[in-house]
């Protein structure tokens, strides 16, 4: 088997279980040295246990690979800095950061607490920004010192963010923010030899097992396995993906797709009098594509309820 990431050094946050575990194992199978980062917290972010990360390390070592467990909290500035330094100190370099860690605190907006909002935003948004910041600074300094850089940042967005899902204003806002962060940081880091992309996965994990109906057949369970997300992440972490940046890929056992970002739709000349806007907006909306639903397709987004 061709090994896409031979000798590359990769960090995967939240990789003790679920999707992140599949990322770490796949990267290792393709020759990467892996920093397996995981707090070992519950789905809501509470608690902590390094043993899930160490178990993944043990699996990687059993297959002949190299890995180290890391329990730093990547949503903190100091924790993110230590994580990046761990990769460099242990393996001598850094080539890819997979920002995968996340939690859920689902609640309808009118019932959501400040803590439930803050916790999700911190883990997802700051937990993506902080490791990316320290990795970017490392690559910038390497490039300025005359060393070749072929860096990768691979973020984790969600269809809940790019398309929208009821009960997830906190999670969806964070994941939409990660998609925007991906596009902007790709523009900023291109000068240093770094690409930035994201995946929007759909898989059955402990975070999603209570969301929606459970799979009833072996085929449905297979389609929702987290193993389907790892191939695109592994490829994006490799040297082969050098020409791809600023994109969001949907990935599941049913589809691999590129999500197309915001584009300007139908237009009209500026209007000064708001009393005349009704017909103008009506015309614009009649020409515009409807928002996509969770399946990424037109026409499935919920329509306003009649009064």
The verdict on 223 and 270 lying in the same domain is no
In a domain, 1, yes or no: no
Instruction: Say whether pLDDT at 209 is over 80.
Output: no
In a domain, 154, yes or no: yes
CATH number of the domain at 111, please: 3.40.50.720
The verdict on 156 and 215 lying in the same domain is yes
The verdict on 229 and 126 lying in the same domain is yes
In a domain, 288, yes or no: yes
Residue position matching structure tokens 């999500």: 259
- Residue where a domain terminates, one of 259, 274, 290: 259
Read off the pTM: 0.90
The verdict on 153 and 283 lying in the same domain is no
> Looking at residues 217-234, what average pLDDT do you find?
82
Question: Domain of 15?
Answer: 9-259
Residues whose CB is less than 8 angstroms from the CB of residue 131 and which lie 6 or more positions away in sequence, other chains included: 11, 13, 74, 80, 83, 84, 97, 99
In a domain, 33, yes or no: yes
Spatial strand order of the sheet with 194-201 comes to: 67-70, 33-37, 9-13, 96-99, 151-156, 194-201, 248-251, 256-259
Residues whose CB is less than 8 angstroms from the CB of residue 288 and which lie 6 or more positions away in sequence, other chains included: 265, 266
Run of H or E residues at 86 = helix 77-91
The verdict on 176 and 99 lying in the same domain is yes
The verdict on 253 and 273 lying in the same domain is no
The verdict on 139 and 36 lying in the same domain is yes
In a domain, 15, yes or no: yes
The verdict on 139 and 22 lying in the same domain is yes
Instruction: Say whether pLDDT at 211 is over 60.
Output: no
> Looking at residues 22-48, what average pLDDT do you find?
86
In a domain, 3, yes or no: no
The verdict on 255 and 300 lying in the same domain is no
Confidence of residue 49 (pLDDT cuts 50, 70, 90): confident
> Looking at residues 16-40, what average pLDDT do you find?
96
Residue position matching structure tokens 């999707």: 19
In a domain, 198, yes or no: yes
Neighbours of 111 (CB within 10 A): 8
pLDDT digits (tens, 9 = 90+) for 176-194: 999 999 999 999 999 999 9
Q: Which residues are catalytic?
A: 171
Average pLDDT in the chain: 91
pLDDT digits (tens, 9 = 90+) for 58-67: 999 999 999 9
pLDDT at residue 218 in the model? 67
pLDDT at residue 204 in the model? 61
Number of structural domains, the chain? 2
Instruction: Say whether pLDDT at 277 is over 60.
Output: yes
In a domain, 132, yes or no: yes
């Amino acid at each position: 088997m061709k090994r896409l990431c031979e000798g590359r050094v990769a960090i995967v946050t939240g990789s003790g279980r679920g999707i992140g575990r599949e990322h770490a194992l796949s990267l290792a199978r393709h020759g990467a040295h892996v920093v397996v980062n995981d707090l070992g917290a519950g789905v809501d972010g509470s608690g902590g246990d390094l043993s899930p990360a160490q178990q993944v390390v043990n699996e990687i070592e059993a297959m002949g690979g190299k890995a180290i467990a890391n329990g730093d909290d990547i949503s903190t500035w100091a924790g993110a800095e230590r994580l990046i330094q761990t990769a460099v100190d242990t393996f001598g370099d850094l080539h890819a950061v997979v920002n995968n860690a996340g939690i859920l605190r689902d609640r309808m907006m009118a019932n959501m607490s400040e803590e439930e909002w803050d916790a999700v935003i911190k883990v997802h948004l700051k937990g993506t920004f902080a490791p990316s910041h320290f990795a970017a600074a490392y690559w910038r300094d390497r490039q300025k010192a005359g060393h070749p850089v072929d860096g990768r940042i691979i973020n984790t967005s969600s269809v809940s963010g790019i398309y929208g899902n009821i009960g997830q204003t906190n999670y969806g806002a964070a994941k939409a923010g990660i998609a925007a962060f991906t596009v902007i940081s790709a523009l900023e880091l291109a000068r240093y030899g770094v690409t930035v992309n994201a995946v929007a996965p759909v898989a059955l994990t402990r975070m999603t097992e209570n969301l929606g109906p459970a799979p009833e057949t072996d085929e449905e369970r297979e389609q929702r396995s987290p193993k389907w997300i790892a191939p695109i992440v592994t490829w994006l972490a490799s040297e082969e993906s050098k020409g791809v940046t600023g994109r969001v890929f949907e990935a599941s056992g049913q589809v691999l797709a590129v999500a197309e970002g915001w584009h300007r739709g139908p237009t009209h000349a500026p209007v000064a009098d708001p009393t005349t806007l009704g017909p103008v907006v009506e015309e614009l909306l009649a020409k515009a594509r409807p928002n996509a639903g969770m399946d990424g397709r037109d026409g499935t987004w919920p329509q306003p309820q009649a009064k």
